[in-house]
Structure 1
């Protein structure tokens, strides 16, 4: 009869493939417009690219909203560049097993390109 001792490590639950439901780009500057470059890549391959000019003025009007910029869930990197500013998000780093849908919001302030995000369970979309 043998005795086995040790510690059994439970594997952490794998993160789901994120789904980008919305990608919003805003210019909050009141004095100058800019051209924003939006790039979504998966494993180094470009799957979405756009260049959009947003005028100066009211941030509620100087905005573009992409709904489902990529159709399938995936391990994406979203990069936005404008003038000398650049911000990026690796989608798999910001979702959880419970909340795998994603709303990304990039906005240019007076000195910085900001990024914020909101997550929720994609399953809840099926009941809407």
Structure 2
């Protein structure tokens, strides 16, 4: 006689499948960001020993902020799949989440100010936004 898998096990399997798909999509977006960044730097003739100009620096900061959002999204998908147990202090996922959130709060990789700085550089505006 065929024995059906319990509903909770089917739900966990489906949730894990969805999460692994989301994590791989996030990784692909991160790789795309890196490839685009490397291509821009190469086309501009900027190597590891060349200091980029203000426009390229602003774009680098914006790219870093954009790329940093992708791992955050992946960890959030894992947390959703694992449920509230993932926040247990005994589990490694909560430490990864906490460390990542602290690192991503650094001003160099906060998206909005970096987008604004790049927009100002594109428009040729100098100085701080407030004057």
TM-score by length of 2: 0.21
TM-score by length of 1: 0.22
| Higher share in strand | 1
Tell which structure's C-alpha radius of gyration is larger: 2
| Higher share in helix | 2
